Amino acid sequence: MVAIASCRTAKVSGSVTSVGGARVTRCHVSNGTTVTMRRSSSSSTRKDTRGRWSGMDAGNDASDDQQDISRGREMVDSLFQGGQGMGGTHNAILSSQDYLSTAQRNFNNIEDGFYISPSFLDKISIHVAKNFLDLPKIKIPLILGIWGGKGQGKTFQCNLAYKKLGIAPIVMSAGELESGNAGEPAKLIRQRYREASDIVKKGRMSSLFINDLDAGAGRMGDATQYTVNNQMVNATLMNIADNPTNVQLPGVYKNEEIPRVPVVCTGNDFSTLYAPLIRDGRMEKYYWNPTREDRVGVCMGIFQHDNVDRDDVERLVDAFPGQSIDFFGALRARVYDDKVREWIQGTGVENIGKRLINSREGKVEFDKPVMVLNTLMHYGNMLVEEQENVKRVQLADEYMSGASLAGSSGSSLPETFKAK
């Protein structure tokens, strides 16, 4: 290119020829010298040999389907393209991250040393094994329903059991069982079940794990609205339980057999669910009521880094017999209040934001508090007192007549007004 530019600027004679597939430019300058530049045309030759349709080749295709959909807009009449946003047929509504599943869980962050109830592990392991075994002429319930009181550690026990068994579960929550679009939760259940089935097809055990099924699909008294999605979730789970190897997505009707996947659900009260769903042929029910040994074992895992011996843990558990297991986790967190209060006083209330968020000094660290039995009993009694205040003071009942004060049985109005 320099040679051609010099030829044009100096207005001298020049020639362009092709030698052996290369482009050769010669410029004859007035002083008798000749400037020659050879440019290879191999790049253009490669481009021509690939062809104009090379993008359709699977080995060379680097396109993005969602971007191709966007490029198609305005190429046909708008009547066939719909509106903007998710309503149109030529609008990219997925990013590359949306193709990846966010439901699969692994439990590499769960440390060893936590307690697994032998009866809990026995129930899950038998249920999983029976669903993967080929037992002749036996109807195996696909769903295992684990229910019990609030805060008893059902979900965490399931996670520990999954890790022990080497299972990669596909997890759903109760919030995904309702949607503004009719039929969306039922479709999602089928998608998640097929996703777990694909994991089994690749040679690893998997399971569909639904947290708090009764909160998303149950009826909590007459005040709870029963929606179309509630009906479809119950009907979809019933259909999957009856046909676990033939689960199709909506609109797909080909008979394709997929691997069977066990389903595990947790909840607090399964009597709120649709009765045909929880019958014995579809759901095997397990009431989780931890024994004293289970409670002590779980609490030993909670306090394993605090040097609390077993005798103190047993006394603590016996001192609060009516409390759930998560009460002791909240108790351990409450013990740190004094350390945090001392740090706030030393840092200053107005400076804690700068120290906690994007600080150059790194994370805040302080010594662990000493957890002795007297300290744990003190904070445990404080938590129980707060629970009693919630149960004793029914502000919702007193709202129309006057605000009640915590610990008082009457109204907050003076006695003189009450007498009148």
Closest CA to 318 of 335, 298, 296, 302: 296
| Residue-level pLDDT at 378 | 92
> Rounded to whole angstroms, how far apart are CA atoms 242 and 232?
15
Q: For residue 364, what pLDDT band results from cuts at 50, 70 and 90?
A: confident
Q: What letter does residue 370 receive in the DSSP assignment?
A: P
| Residue-level pLDDT at 379 | 92
| Residue-level pLDDT at 125 | 94
Closest CA to 316 of 378, 385, 376, 371: 376
Looking at per-residue pLDDT, the higher value among 223 and 330 belongs to 330
Q: Which of 85-89, 331-335, 411-415 has the lowest mean pLDDT?
A: 411-415
Contact 270, 146 (CB under 8 A): no
Q: Is the pLDDT of residue 17 over 80?
A: no
| Residue-level pLDDT at 351 | 87
Question: In percent, how much of the chain has pLDDT > 70?
Answer: 66
Q: Is the pLDDT of residue 414 over 80?
A: no
Q: What pLDDT, in 10s, does the model give residues 40-58?
A: 544 444 444 455 555 555 4
Q: Is the pLDDT of residue 347 over 70?
A: yes
Q: How many CA atoms lie within 13 A of 386 on its CB side?
A: 9
Q: What pLDDT, in 10s, does the model give residues 118-140?
A: 999 999 999 999 999 988 888 89
| Residue-level pLDDT at 412 | 46
**CA-to-CA separations, 36 to 1, 3, 14, 26, in angstroms, rounded:** 10, 7, 10, 4
Q: What pLDDT, in 10s, does the model give residues 257-315?
A: 899 999 999 999 888 888 899 999 899 999 999 999 999 999 998 898 888 899 999 99
Looking at per-residue pLDDT, the higher value among 270 and 29 belongs to 270
DSSP string, 100-129: S-S-B---TTSPTT----HHHHHHHHHHHH
Q: For residue 237, what pLDDT band results from cuts at 50, 70 and 90?
A: very high
Q: Which of 77-91, 193-207, 278-292, 377-391 has the lowest mean pLDDT?
A: 77-91
Q: What pLDDT, in 10s, does the model give residues 204-226?
A: 999 999 999 988 888 776 656 67
Q: Is the pLDDT of residue 387 over 50?
A: yes
Contact 394, 402 (CB under 8 A): no
| Residue-level pLDDT at 272 | 85
Which tokens hold the place of 4? 């051609």
Q: Is the pLDDT of residue 407 over 60?
A: no
**What does DSSP say about strands 206-210 and 168-172: parallel, antiparallel, or unpaired?**
parallel
Other CB atoms within 10 Å distance of the CB of residue 171: 20
**CA-to-CA separations, 205 to 140, 188, 194, in angstroms, rounded:** 17, 21, 13
* Average confidence (pLDDT) over 5-19: 50
- Residues forming a β-bridge with 27: 14, 35
* Average confidence (pLDDT) over 321-330: 90
| Residue-level pLDDT at 91 | 56
**CA-to-CA separations, 240 to 194, 257, 278, 282, in angstroms, rounded:** 11, 13, 13, 9
| Residue-level pLDDT at 249 | 81
Contact 404, 412 (CB under 8 A): yes
| Residue-level pLDDT at 397 | 65
Which tokens hold the place of 71? 């490029």
Closest CA to 380 of 309, 311, 299: 299
- Residues forming a β-bridge with 38: 24
Average pLDDT, the chain: 77
